[in-house]
Amino acid sequence: MLDTRPAPPAPRGARSAIRPTGRERSFSADELIVSKTDPRGVITYANDVFLRVSGYRQDEVLGQPHNMIRHPEMPRAVFKLLWDTLTAGQEVFAYINNLAADGGHYWVLAHVTPSYDAGCRTVGYHSNRRRPARGAVQRVLPLYQRLLDEERRHPNARAATEASSRLLADVLDEQGQTYEEFIWSVINREES
């Protein structure tokens, strides 16, 4: 799970500015990347698949903002929608391109849910990610590119996020779909 908040400080022991290399990393279809965060999105747990695929050690990720793996070619609108959905207490599915420690990237189909305590207060978030089908990624890329193109027309992150969020809402309205319906249409095509 990633967000539109400013880039975090470099993790302890990590290189300062990670530049995307264009090299894609992958993981097996039967593996799940799992992480947990506190309510602010700070990592409290990362499984071995998360660590292997992202290229970080456990001590480099625990206590760091989850957006440390935010790829610069991911639309901010998707993360705004993700956080808005989670803040409303709902689960969210999203196709996400993450940035690894070595500059490689890896696509995931993320399923993120709020975690609650006994008093029904949000105590964090739980994210399971699986490897998406190549065709699913190809279906979301045109939309993501349109959102990124819109973001690049604006002078700062806030304006970019607002503009691409409006564009995302407009595109979904034109298609007569909610974001959830759009993602499920991609998932269902992936599984058929």
Domains identified in the chain, total number: 1
pTM comes to 0.87
Q: Are strands 122-130 and 92-99 parallel, antiparallel or unpaired?
A: unpaired
Where residue 87 sits, what CATH number does that domain have?
A: 3.30.450.20
Kindly report the number of other CB atoms within 10 A of residue 54's CB atom.
23
Q: What pLDDT does 191 receive?
A: 63
Question: Mind listing the pLDDT tens digit for each residue in 26-56?
Answer: 999 999 999 999 999 999 999 999 999 999 9
Asked if the structure places residue 12 within a domain, the reply is no
User: Alpha helix (H) ranges present in the chain?
Assistant: 48-54, 58-61, 76-87, 134-152, 157-175, 179-191
Are 110 and 32 contacting, i.e. CB atoms less than 8 angstroms apart? no
Q: pLDDT of 3-29, one tens digit each?
A: 433 344 444 444 458 999 999 999 999
Taking residues 157-174, what's their average pLDDT? 97
Q: Where residue 192 falls among pLDDT bands split at 50, 70, 90?
A: low
Residue 4 lies in a domain: no
Alpha-carbon distance 21 to 7, whole Å? 18
pLDDT at 41: 95
Decide if 13 is inside a domain.
no
